[in-house]
Each structure stands twice: as C-alpha cells, then as structure tokens.
Amino acid sequence: KQLEVMSCDLSAFPACKFFRVEAIIRPWRLQKVVAQLAAHGIRGLTVSSVQGAGVQGGRKERYGGTEFGDSSASEQFLVDKTRMDIVVARGQVDSVVRIVSAAAHTGEIGDGKIFVHPVADIIRIRTAETGAVAERMEGGMQDMTGVKGV
C-alpha cells in the first residue's frame, strides 16, 4: 500500500470539524515522527507511554531480524509502545496520518496502528477561546503550509 496517497474516510462524521489522530508507534520512532510533524507545523500533540498487544503480541521488539528487550513474565504478552494524540482540523487529517505513517514505518511486524476519532469541540483554557480559533496554533500547519482544516 502507498502511504503517500492514502486517505482517511471521515464520511461517518460529515459535520465534524476536528479529529484526534491517535497513533500507537514504536517508542524509538517517536523523535523521528515528532520532527517530521514539526517540519509541517504540527506543534500540538500529547505523548504517552503505553503497553499493548497486537499481531506482534508478546514477542519482543523485533526489527531487522533481531529481537531484543526484557523477557520477564509480566511483560510476556505486552509490548512497550508510544501513543501520540494529535488533534487537528478536518482538512489536515490526511496530511498528519501520512506524515506519522511514513515516519513510523519499518515494514516489520509491530509498526503500530492509527485510529481517527471525531472531536466535538476544543477549549483553550488560557483564553477561553473555542472551536476553530482554539484549534489554530500560531506558526502551525495552516500558517506554515496553507493546509487549512475547517
């Protein structure tokens, strides 16, 4: 499949202006993903350390044919992952998904998954701004690349 041209089906939420792109990635790819997002003006994001199970299951972190990691019993079924939550305007979802996918991709089992969720509203606590004004960030993707969302 071609990451550069893939697009998300947002048609289930025709009136939704904002979406949360939730990406579960390999922890050691985080810096690369953040750097690529920053280069495109995506400055707002939240990162968490999580553990998960997928096709990779409890197998140790695998890349380039080698396996490494701790093998204690409690971690047998769970693999350390990093979750990124990136809220963006509707028209920026495809760009963000493509940037994250390209930067997180190795082609080996365990690259991760991306979930796209609708977001009803956004409130900037400092200013009490809401909606599109709260979603915009100075020097953000819209300012930098002209890719508007709403």
Helices (H), the chain: 30-39, 93-104, 131-135, 141-145
User: Which residues, 113 to 132, sit near ligand ATP by CB under 6 A?
Assistant: 124, 126
- State the number of binding residues for ligand ATP (CB under 6 A): 9
Q: Which residue is nearest to ligand GLN (CB)?
A: 140
Nearer to ligand GLN, 21 or 79 (CB): 21
122 binds ligand GLN (CB under 6 A): no
- 135 and 87 in contact (C-beta within 8 Å)? yes
CA distance 119 to 92: 14
Q: Tell me which stretch binds ligand ATP (CB under 6 A): 23-31, 43-51, 55-63, 142-150.
A: 43-51
- Only one residue has tokens 């904002």, namely 18
Measuring CA to CA, how many Å separate 107 from each of 42, 60, 72? 25, 16, 27
Q: Looking at the DSSP assignment, which residues form a beta bridge with residue 124?
A: 129
Q: What's the closest the beta carbon of residue 92 comes to ligand GLN, in angstroms?
A: 5
87 binds ligand GLN (CB under 6 A): yes
Nearer to ligand GLN, 79 or 86 (CB): 86
Give the strands of the sheet with 18-25, arranged side by side. 46-52, 79-89, 18-25, 112-119
User: Which residues, 85 to 104, sit near ligand ATP by CB under 6 A?
Assistant: 85-87
Closest CA to 147 of 45, 18, 41, 15: 41
Q: What's the closest the beta carbon of residue 43 comes to ligand ATP, in angstroms?
A: 8
22 binds ligand ATP (CB under 6 A): no
List of residues contacting ligand ATP (CB under 6 A): 44-46, 85-87, 124, 126, 137
